[in-house]
């Protein structure tokens, strides 16, 4: 099957009250049009054409290599937009028309729609709305066959009472679609060339229209920020249901945000107000505390993330414990059983198995061996204002509280750094490093008088 996808994304979206093109507003941290592109890509199309208009350059930049963008210089209606898109497409394929502001459409629904066109007809996606508002209505005959679509502004009272709506999503053989579009006129209340008019033309030519009835949420579009928020909640509900069916326990499904792709093992637990962003992999038995944010990271079996911890671009091996209030920054690699406690920050740091940094430390551009202890207040001074320098700490090292490790530096296996030390040179195996100023006690010292208010 030669499938050519057309995505309409030229509209301004004035009701969004925004300087940004409507299709670039985000759902689950991705532009609306990217959700549509992902759904269509699941069908492995021969080509994808995006019709752009308002803020065309910004939409082109967002689409990138995911589709070929063509400009609809004048917005003369959906029929005109599709004409613009298929001008250079061959007649041997099926054209699937989608909308850049309808982000929750499912690949399975699109496959059913395309199947109608492959049978020599037109596939048309519809849905039933309790309140269809100003959406176009589906017209059926006495045999329940689809015979046309009427736009709300052109509908009479009886037609407006119909609750089956046109989603706008359809599939048709390219050659026939091109012919029907040439016959469409703009004799309507809007003065536009409606794509929907091809349905009655197809029926008039004896071509069957195969209706694919979908869920309301799946074909809901975004016209304002209220609708965008509603679809965000719908999306999050679907993601929460998916995760629960895969064996994840959610403390409250309504208080989880998934903003990417999450793969989870069995018996995971996710507390309230957690955000999972980008590509996230959770092993078996992972526990994530309230308010944690996990982005583009992999968490091994049995990892526990305590509340209000941020993990980004990191790999945590089995049995790690991080937080609360820890920040694991990009490039961090934590070995099995590592403990990173409250108010500890890591960046481009590798911590060996069993190593602990229990509280109040910064470990950047560092390689730390196994079974090492990093005391509270320890800082790797990795930046000199020009370059980043590395700190290398061996196995079974003890770094005392409030130590300053000035990179580049190496602390060998089994070494001990005394609390309060500033260490600037290599510490050999098993050595004790003491880098303090000598203490002086001054007897007879007189405290300054407390300041008196004038």
Q: Give me the active site residues, please.
A: 359
Q: Please report the beta strands in 218-273, taking only residues with DSSP state E, as ranges in sequence order.
A: 248-250, 256-264, 268-270
Q: Report the 10 Å Cβ neighbour count for 165.
A: 22
- DSSP-derived secondary structure letter, 283: -
- 263 has which bridge partners? 281
CA distance 39 to 265: 25
Question: How many residues appear in the chain?
Answer: 454
Nearest to 238 by CA among 256, 263, 214: 256
The answer to whether the CB of 164 falls within 8 A of the CB of 138 is yes
Nearest to 284 by CA among 263, 311, 264: 264
**Distance from the first to the final alpha carbon of the chain:** 90
Q: For the chain, what is the total number of helices (H) and then of strands (E)?
A: 8, 35
Contacts of 67 (CB under 8 A, 6+ apart): 5, 7, 37, 48, 49, 50
Q: Exposed, middle or buried by CB within 10 Å (0-12, 13-18, 19+), for 147?
A: middle
**DSSP letters spanning 91-147:** TTSEEEEEETT-TT--HHHHHHHHHHHHTTSEEEEEEE-SS-TTSPEEEE-TTS-EE
Distances (CA, A) of 245 to 239, 249, 262, 266, 277: 10, 9, 13, 10, 20
Nearest to 117 by CA among 36, 33, 198, 8: 198
Q: Please report the beta strands in 215-355, taking only residues with DSSP state E, as ranges in sequence order.
A: 248-250, 256-264, 268-270, 274-282, 287-288, 293-295, 298-299, 304-305, 310-312, 315-316, 321-322, 327-328, 333-334, 339-351
Burial call 262-280: b when 16+ CB within 10 Å, e when fewer? bebbeebebbebbbbbeeb
């Amino acid at each position: 099957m030669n499938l050519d996808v057309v995505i309409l994304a030229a509209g301004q979206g004035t009701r969004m009250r925004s300087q940004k093109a409507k299709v670039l507003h985000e759902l689950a941290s991705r532009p609306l049009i990217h959700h549509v592109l992902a759904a269509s890509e699941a069908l492995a199309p021969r080509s994808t054409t995006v019709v752009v208009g308002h803020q065309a350059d910004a939409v082109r930049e967002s689409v990138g290599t995911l589709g070929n963008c063509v400009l609809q210089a004048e917005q003369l209606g959906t029929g005109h937009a599709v004409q613009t898109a298929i001008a250079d497409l061959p007649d041997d394929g099926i054209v699937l028309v989608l909308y850049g502001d309808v982000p929750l459409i499912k690949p399975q629904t699109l496959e059913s729609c395309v199947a109608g066109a492959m049978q020599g007809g037109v596939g048309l996606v519809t849905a039933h709305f309790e309140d269809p508002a100003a959406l176009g209505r589906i017209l059926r005959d006495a045999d329940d066959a689809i015979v046309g679509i009427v736009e709300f502004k052109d509908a009479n009272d009886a037609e407006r009472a119909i609750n089956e709506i046109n989603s706008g999503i359809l599939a048709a053989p390219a050659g026939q679609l091109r012919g029907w579009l040439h016959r469409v006129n703009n004799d309507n209340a809007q003065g536009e060339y409606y794509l929907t008019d091809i349905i009655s033309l197809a029926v008039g030519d004896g071509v069957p229209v195969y209706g694919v009835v979908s869920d309301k949420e799946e074909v809901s579009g975004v016209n304002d920020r209220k609708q965008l928020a509603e679809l965000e909640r719908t999306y999050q509900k679907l993601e929460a249901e998916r995760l629960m069916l895969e064996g994840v326990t959610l403390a409250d499904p309504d208080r989880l945000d998934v903003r990417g792709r999450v793969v989870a093992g069995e018996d995971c637990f996710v507390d309230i107000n957690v955000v999972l962003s980008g590509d996230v992999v959770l092993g078996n038995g992972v526990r994530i505390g309230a308010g944690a944010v996990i982005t583009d990271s992999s968490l091994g079996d049995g990892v526990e993330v305590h509340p209000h911890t941020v993990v980004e671009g990191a790999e945590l091996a089995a049995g790690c414990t991080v937080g609360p209030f820890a920040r694991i920054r990009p490039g961090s690699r934590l070995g099995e059983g590592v403990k990173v406690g409250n108010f500890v920050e890591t960046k481009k740091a590798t911590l060996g198995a069993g190593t602990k940094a229990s509280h109040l430390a910064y470990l950047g551009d560092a390689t730390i061996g196994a079974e090492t202890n990093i005391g509270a207040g320890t800082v790797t001074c990795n930046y000199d204002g020009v370059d980043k320098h590395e700190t290398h700490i061996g196995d079974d090292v003890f770094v005392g509280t409030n130590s300053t490790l000035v990179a580049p530096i190496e602390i060998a296996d089994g070494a001990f750094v005394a609390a309060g030390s500033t260490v600037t040179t290599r510490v050999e195996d098993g050595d004790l490093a003491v880098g303090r100023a000598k203490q002086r006690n001054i007897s007879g010292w007189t405290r300054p008088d407390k300041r008196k208010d004038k």
